[in-house]
Homo-oligomer: A and B are copies of this chain.
């Protein structure tokens, strides 16, 4: 399995990426293709590692402050070159660089799975439930038509089943109340579309039989009330940032308390099990990256601040996605969709 790994544009530079590749090679068999500044990379790579990786020299990259659309013209950048390699025979790509650039190039070069109106970014959310819920879209699509939300439901459902191996995976639509009647104009319309889609077929008098559980609320995410939570990219971003904000505010209250006294220090020590569980559940590194669903090959978008562990997990995620044939299964899930005039018009 050939996995393209973008070395450029991450906040912490090349080192954690190279370290993540080395760690992943310690447990899995795959052929890494590193795209980026070869001179810098070679200086950081051990002799042993050098024999296991291919390095493609392309030191240029899209800076964070640049527009995603610039990426389509900048043919010398690592992500442009990397996406071409993926398209022409590699199996997956991992990048912690400019996420808009990666999404744009992936859509352009790999193409969307037939029937998909918009690719979406999905992420695993911390949960005290049986399994982690996945949330999508978390940033690829700010304004969403109801049809896009239907597509996110289909993609999230297939990802949960195929890649995460969730049995009896369930889907919910994020709304401002759990009653069927709640929602914005767009989510109310999406509710109908999802209910009617053959994969979810949901009748009002037999709603339990469907994988689509209807509307869910923000708090449902953290108890795994459903496995897949569907929303537009604007709302998804707000959920992610709010989650981060609450967790970090609570943790700062504890830190202040511990700073102020020996008793509190001891208390924190005695509760270290709980603290470490919370840290583990909220550590994005353990979840790898955010897969971009709906394009024809596996693309994992890692956090700009990814450490070696995050890159390592993103590579495992890429391997799992490829091995599970999720793109093929997704194409099948979309085959129920009539390719109507509007959809083909939008292509």
Is residue A198 contacting chain B, with contact meaning CB distance below 8 A?
A: no
Residues of B within 8 A of A187 (CB): 234
Q: Are B219 and A142 in contact (CB under 8 A)?
A: no
B217 contacts A253, CB within 8 Å?
A: no
Instruction: Please state if A222 and B235 are interface contacts (CB–CB under 8 Å).
Output: no
Chain B neighbourhood of A264, CB < 8 A: 270-271, 273-274
- The residues in A between 154 and 212 inclusive whose CB is less than 8 angstroms from any CB of B are 174-177, 183-185, 187
- Please choose the segment from A40-48, A111-119, A241-249, A332-340 that sits at the chain B interface, where 4 or more of its residues have CB less than 8 A away: A241-249
- Contact-residue size bin, chain A (C-beta under 8 Å from the other chain): 35 or more
| Neighbouring B residues of A26 by C-beta, 8 Å | none
With both beta carbons as reference points, the residue of chain B lying nearest to A277 in the complex is identified as B253
A270 to chain B: which residues have CB within 8 Å?
A: 263-264, 266-267, 270
With A266-B267, A266-B270 already in contact, the answer to whether A183 and B142 are too (CB < 8 A) is: yes
List residues of chain B with CB within 8 A of the CB of A218: 237-245
Q: Name the contact of A143 in the complex, choosing from B142, B184, B243, B246 (C-beta under 8 A).
A: B184
| Chain B residues whose CB sits within 8 angstroms of the CB of A29 once the complex forms | none
A243: chain B residues at CB < 8 Å are 218, 242, 246
CA distance A257 to B244 in the complex (A): 22
Among the listed B185, B217, B274, which residue makes an inter-chain contact with A241, where contact means beta carbons less than 8 Å apart?
B217
Cβ–Cβ < 8 Å partners of A177 in chain B: 237
Report the 8 A-B pairs with minimum CB-CB distance, sorted nearest first.
A267-B270, A218-B241, A219-B245, A218-B242, A176-B237, A257-B274, A267-B271, A222-B249
25 contacts between A and B (CB under 8 A): A128-B253, A143-B185, A176-B234, A176-B238, A183-B234, A187-B234, A218-B237, A218-B244, A218-B245, A219-B241, A221-B242, A221-B245, A222-B246, A235-B238, A238-B238, A238-B239, A239-B242, A253-B278, A254-B271, A254-B274, A256-B274, A257-B277, A264-B273, A267-B270, A268-B271
Chain A residues packing against B (C-beta within 8 Å): 126-128, 139, 142-143, 174-177, 183-185, 187, 217-223, 231, 233-235, 237-250, 252-254, 256-257, 260, 263-264, 266-271, 273-274, 277-278, 281
